[in-house]
Every structure is written in structure tokens, then in C-alpha cells.
Amino acid sequence: MKRPFLLFSFLFPCIGASVAFLGCGDDSGSGGASTETTTTTTGSSPTTGSSPTTGTQSTTSTTTGMTTSTTGSMTTTASGMFDCADPDGNPPAIELTMVAAGFSSPLIVKSAPDNPDRLYVANQSGTIEVLEGGQVVGTFLDISNDIQAGGEEGLLGLAFHPDYANNGRFFVYYTAPGGDMTVGEFHRSANDPLVADPDQVQLAIQHYTDEGNHNGGSIEFGSDGYLYIAWGDGGAQNDPGCDAMNTSNLLGKISRIDVNATPDGEGFPPPATNPEGGTAKYYHIGLRNPFRMSFDVCTGDLYIGDVGQSQYEEISFLDQNGPPSNFGWPVREGMHDHNNDCPNPPGGYVEPIAEYTHNDGCSVTGGVVHRSADAPSLRGFYFYGDFCAGEVLALRADTNGNIVTAPIETGASLGPNSISSFGNDGHGNVYVTDLSDGEVYRIDPAQ
């Protein structure tokens, strides 16, 4: 079934509980109504300044449990086989092919390293369902009775250990009762590979928040084998406490932890190459609500869709050798000055590679890079969208974060208040989840 192209000239205001879950607009529900189609501008450079972080910096990375082999343009990792060649053909014309329907507020779709074709669809309410051949074949995990869900809270992230095929370890980001942002370790059942043990094995990492919004939610393994966790800034408008710049907490940051080390009562430790001499669990700072981030499976480059405040939505980028970095919030929103009240903020902000205003949407949904050999015109393109506008966008950057193909409107849309996430299978195909209709689509070249 093909989703028809839906071109919207009017982007709905950022209102209602369904929109609130993405932390869009100015936190007052006003968002950004528009009478224009989506247009996107890009920055000329991914960085400003030469020292974009505080604390100890290091470009050293240690590979833990990650293997990669390359034959021609095809690269095989623990997650699958991917086509790392440049695109062949014109800038992508796409269509959305429905894969499955009937989900309840789907926020995540991805495959695990043990099977490149099997998909896992995580719902905000706390369930993860298994999808094979377009059919739901069972519930992998149900923690709905153990989490706090609704608004911007719930089951927000899922990451499979690179050696999942052998050790069955995976990690879930969820909001604990009381509101604490939490990542827990779970294990696949020893008796059935399509079922997980329902009990959390151990705490991976946890952090308080005073508000129920701006929780971030992405968790992803980097090419260094460490687990990265994206935290929101705590929810208050304009981050008045400048928490995203305050390295004494994890709000508005991306943590990096070593899940192959020995945990203690507070979860897993940071790698020795983290800031502050390897004692800090944060790695990147200066983010508002990085609801979706991803690593390019071919290059290791990091893409972050950081939901904006009242004017700008942004896509940030860091190459795989990038050191701990400062992405600027709340001193900067997008490529622009924002809050000058932060005391002694560190400089050297990493500028986004793309932004758009609230004339064109209200809440960016960060995406993933297409790496399928079956779609040569799409490979290497980063697909993302805006939750309020509902349109799928695309851009292509080189490994230095320079825009090769400027952000374009693909002409494909799920409609307003719909696009909640993007994900890859083990072949590099890209999928998009529809929050409002409970559907999963695959991005294919237009026929």
C-alpha cells in the first residue's frame, strides 16, 4: 500500500497533548502556525570556535564489542550489511510504503543485530512489538505497569547491544513513576528469541527532572561501542537555570557510558575518555530537547534533531572523531543568539548544519541516514521531518558536516502531528512512524 503524497500549505499550530509529547514551540502551546510550505536553510559551517566543550577533551575512542568489515561499497557491522557508496541518481523522490498498522502511539522502529529483517516497534505506553513480514508476531516487552506515560513521558528509547545476537542485552529509556528519566538494561528470554524477560536486570543510568517535558529520549550505541543517552533540558521555558550549560547535572546533554564495565548503584560508569578526566557521565552539552539522534552506520557521524523553543528547529551534526562538544542552548537557538543570561557560558558552539523557522513547522523529528543497496538514489541521504507539518525532509552532508545536498522537501507527508520517529533495519532501509494513526512506513524511491 502506498501512502499518497500530501502537500500541505497550512501547518497546524503546536497545540494539544499529542504535540506536547515532542516538546515543540515555546512551551505555552502556541507553537507556530504558518501559511507557507516548508523551506529549510543551512549553515555554511558545522562549528564556530575551536574549543567547543568544557572539561577534559579527547578524540581517542575505544572500540568495545564492535566489528566492521568492508567489501567494495558494502559494509558489514554487528547491525547488518549497508551500502556506503554515494547516491546514484537525482535528489531523492520518494514514496511511503505502509509496512504495518494498528500500533498505539509508536515512537521507535529499528532492527536488532540478530536479524536484519525483523523490526521492533516501541509504543509510548510501554510495549515493544515484534514485526515480521508486515505482521505483528508478538509482544517483545511490556513495562507499561512500571513506567509513567503520557504527554512527553513514557517509553522513549530503545537500543540493542552490538553483541545482542550472542548476549541478548538491550536497553530501554523510560520515564519512571515520579518522573525520573531512566535507562534500564533488559535481557532477551533464554527460551524464546521473540520475547524478553519482563524484569529489568539493572539500572544503566538515571537522572531527575523537575518537569514532565523535554525528556529527550534517544539512546544509541556509537561506533566506539559506548551507549549514548540524550537528555532534555528539564522543561522550563528558555532553560532559565542554564542547566544545558551546567556540567554539574545531565540536563540538556548527551551522556556516554560503558555498559561493558561493572555497574554500581548508580548504573554504568563513564569511559576514561569522557570529560573531567573520565569522571563525567555527560559527553556533549548545550541541547534543548534532543528527542531523536542517530549515528550513520557507515561513517559513525552523529545527527541530532534538537527541538527548538519559539523560533528555530535544528539538525546538529558531529563527525565520528568529534570531541565532547557544546551545541549552544540556551545561549543559542539554531544559528541565532537566544539567552544571554547564562553566567560565564563556555564558547566554541557547534552550529547546526540545518535549521528552519516556526513559519514552517514547530517540532523537528530527527532522522536516520539511508544506506540500502536496493535504493541507490536514496543512500547517504539523512531523512527527517517536522512533527507539526508532517512532511518528510532530506539532506546530505559529507563527513565534515558540510552540506552536499541542501535540505529538500521530498513531497511525501504523513500529515500534521504524525511523524514521531525514523529508524533503520539491518539493510539500511529507512522507516518512519506515524504517531496519530499508529502506522509504520518504509521510505522507498518513487516509482
Quick one: pLDDT at residue 92? 79
Quick one: pLDDT at residue 44? 34
Return d(Cα 56, Cα 71) in angstroms, integer. 37
Quick one: pLDDT at residue 147? 95
Quick one: pLDDT at residue 89? 80
| Dihedral angle over CA of 27, 29, 34, 39, nearest 10 | 30
- Residue with more model confidence, 21 or 111: 111
Return d(Cα 347, Cα 79) in angstroms, integer. 37
Return d(Cα 32, Cα 15) in angstroms, integer. 9
Question: Which of 24-28, 101-105, 168-172, 221-225 is the least confident region?
Answer: 24-28
- Residue with more model confidence, 232 or 11: 232
Give the whole-number percent of the chain exceeding pLDDT 90: 74
**3: pLDDT strictly greater than 70:** no
Question: Which of 80-94, 154-168, 376-390 is the least confident region?
Answer: 80-94
Quick one: pLDDT at residue 20? 52
Question: What value does the mean pLDDT take over residues 137-149?
Answer: 96
HEC secondary structure over the chain: CEECCCCCCCECCCCCHHHHCCCCCCCCCCCCCECCCCCCEECCCCCCCCCCCCCCCCCCCCCCCCCEEEECCEEEECCEEEECCCCCCCCCCEEEEEEECCCCCEEEEEEECCEEEEEEEEECCCEEEEEECCEEEEEEEECHHHCCCECCECEEEEEECCCHHHHCEEEEEEECCCCCEEEEEEEECCCCCCCECCCCCEEEEEECCCCCCCCCCCEEECCCCCEEEECCCCCCCCCCCCHHHCCCCCCCCEEEECCCCCCECCECCCCCCCHHHHCCCEEEECCCCCCEEEECCCCCCEEEEECCCCCEEEEEEECCCCCCCECCCCCEECCEECCCCCCCCCCCCCCCCEEEECCCCCCEEEEEECCCCCCCCCCCCEEEEECCCCEEEEEEECCCCCEEEEEEEEEEECCCCCEEEEEECCCCCEEEEECCCCEEEEEEECC
**42: pLDDT strictly greater than 90:** no
Q: Give the range with max mean pLDDT: 2-16, 33-47, 56-70, 263-277.
A: 263-277
Q: Give the range with max mean pLDDT: 23-32, 333-342, 423-432.
A: 423-432
For residue 337, what are the β-bridge partners?
A: 332
- Residue with more model confidence, 209 or 122: 122
**63: pLDDT strictly greater than 50:** no
pLDDT (tens digit per residue) in 235-254: 888 999 999 999 999 999 99
- Residue with more model confidence, 16 or 363: 363
Q: Spell out the domains of the chain, with CATH numbers in brackets.
A: 2-445 (2.120.10.30)
Q: At residue 392, what is the residue type?
A: V
Q: What contacts 132, CB < 8 A, 6 or more positions away?
A: 117, 118, 119
Question: What value does the mean pLDDT take over residues 198-203?
Answer: 97
**30: pLDDT strictly greater than 50:** no
Quick one: pLDDT at residue 211? 83
Question: What value does the mean pLDDT take over residues 192-209?
Answer: 96
Inter-CA distances, 2 with 94, 100, 278, 383, 415, Å: 11, 12, 49, 18, 14
Q: Which of 416, 301, 434 is nearest to 368 (CA)?
A: 301
**pLDDT grade for 11, boundaries at 50, 70 and 90:** very low
Return d(Cα 132, Cα 135) in angstroms, integer. 5
* CA angle, 201 then 205 then 211, to 5°: 120
Give the whole-number percent of the chain exceeding pLDDT 70: 85
Question: What value does the mean pLDDT take over residues 122-150?
Answer: 96
Question: What value does the mean pLDDT take over residues 284-307?
Answer: 97
Question: What value does the mean pLDDT take over residues 403-408?
Answer: 94
pLDDT (tens digit per residue) in 296-344: 999 999 999 999 998 999 999 999 888 999 999 999 999 999 987 888 8
